[in-house]
C-alpha cells in the first residue's frame, strides 16, 4: 500500500492536536500584565506539549521518508501512536489548570511513556516490513534517545507523586534531548539517493 494517505492523515491529526491545545487558553479578564499571570502554568504546559507534538511530527516525517510501502499492521500501529498523541491536549490542560499537581504530572508522564512505546512499535513494524538493510535500520543505529526516553519517563512517573517538580524537569530534559537535531535519517536518505 502507498504511504501517502498515512502521512496526510497523520499530519492532519497532529495539526488538530496543536489546535485543540491552543484553544484551551481563555482570554484574561483584564488588559494588564497581571491579568496574564494566572495563565502562566497553562502557557508553560502548552509550550512543553507543543514541543513534544513537534518532536513526534518531525520524527514521524523523517521516518516516513524511509518507508516505501505500508501494510495493515503499520496502519494500525500509526493509529495507535495517534491515539496516544491525541491525549496530550487533555493532560496539558489538566496540568496547567492544576499548576502541575502530582497526579496530573503523573498522568502526563504516563501519556508521554505510551507515546514513546507506540512510536517504538510503529518503528519496529516498519523495520520488519523493510528489513534490516533498510534506510531506517541504518539510520536508527543504537537509538540511545529512543531507549533512554522510556526509562526517564518511568523515573519521572515514579517521582510525580512526591516531587512533581523533578518530574517536570525530567520531561523538559527528554524534550531537550530530542530537540537536538538528529541528522541520521537525513544523512542516510541523502547518501542513498
pLDDT in tens, 83-113: 999 999 999 999 999 999 999 999 999 999 9
Residues whose CB falls within 8 Å of the CB of residue 21, separated by 6 or more in sequence, listed in order: 46, 49, 50, 53, 88, 89, 92, 93
Please give the Cα distance from 24 to 137 (Å, whole number).
39
pLDDT in tens, 10-42: 999 999 999 999 998 888 888 888 888 888 999
Evaluate whether 105 touches 168 at the Cβ level (below 8 Å): yes
Please give the Cα distance from 51 to 176 (Å, whole number).
9
Helix (H), strand (E) counts: the chain: 10, 0
pLDDT at 182: 64
Please give the Cα distance from 17 to 31 (Å, whole number).
28
**Got the DSSP string for 126-187?**
HHHHH-TTSHHHHHHTT-HHHHHHHHHHHHHHHHHTT-HHHHHHHHHHHHHHHHS---HHHH
pLDDT at 181: 66
For residue 133, is it left (φ>0), alpha (ψ between -120 and 50) or beta? alpha
Computed over every residue of the chain, the mean pLDDT equals 91
Question: Is the entire prediction scored with pTM above 0.85?
Answer: yes
Evaluate whether 55 touches 179 at the Cβ level (below 8 Å): yes
Evaluate whether 92 touches 21 at the Cβ level (below 8 Å): yes
Domain boundaries, the chain: 4-191
Q: Which three cell numbers stand for residue 85?
A: 498523541
Q: Residue 2, exposed/middle/buried by CB under 10 A (0-12, 13-18, 19+)? A: exposed
Residue predicted with more confidence, 152 or 141? 152
Amino acid at each position: 500500500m502507498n504511504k501517502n494517505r498515512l502521512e496526510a492523515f497523520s499530519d492532519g491529526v497532529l495539526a488538530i492536536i496543536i489546535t485543540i491545545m491552543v484553544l484551551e487558553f481563555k482570554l484574561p479578564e483584564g488588559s494588564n500584565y497581571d491579568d496574564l499571570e494566572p495563565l502562566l502554568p497553562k502557557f508553560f504546559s502548552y509550550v512543553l506539549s507543543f514541543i513534544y507534538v513537534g518532536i513526534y511530527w518531525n520524527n514521524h516525517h523523517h521516518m516516513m521518508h524511509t518507508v516505501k510501502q505500508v501494510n495493515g499492521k503499520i496502519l494500525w500501529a500509526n493509529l495507535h501512536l495517534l491515539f496516544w498523541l491525541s491525549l496530550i491536549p487533555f493532560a496539558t490542560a489538566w496540568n496547567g489548570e492544576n499548576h502541575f499537581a502530582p497526579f496530573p504530572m503523573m498522568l502526563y508522564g504516563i501519556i508521554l511513556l505510551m507515546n514513546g512505546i507506540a512510536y517504538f512499535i510503529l518503528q519496529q513494524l516498519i523495520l520488519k516490513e523493510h528489513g534490516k538493510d533498510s534506510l531506517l535500520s541504518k539510520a536508527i543505529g543504537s537509538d540511545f534517545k529512543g531507549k533512554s526516553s522510556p526509562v526517564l519517563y518511568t523515573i519521572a512517573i515514579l517521582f510525580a507523586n512526591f516531587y512533581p517538580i523533578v518530574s517536570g524537569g525530567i520531561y523538559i530534559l527528554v524534550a531537550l534531548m530530542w530537540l537536538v537535531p538528529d541528522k541520521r535519517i537525513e544523512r542516510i536518505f541523502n547518501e542513498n539517493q
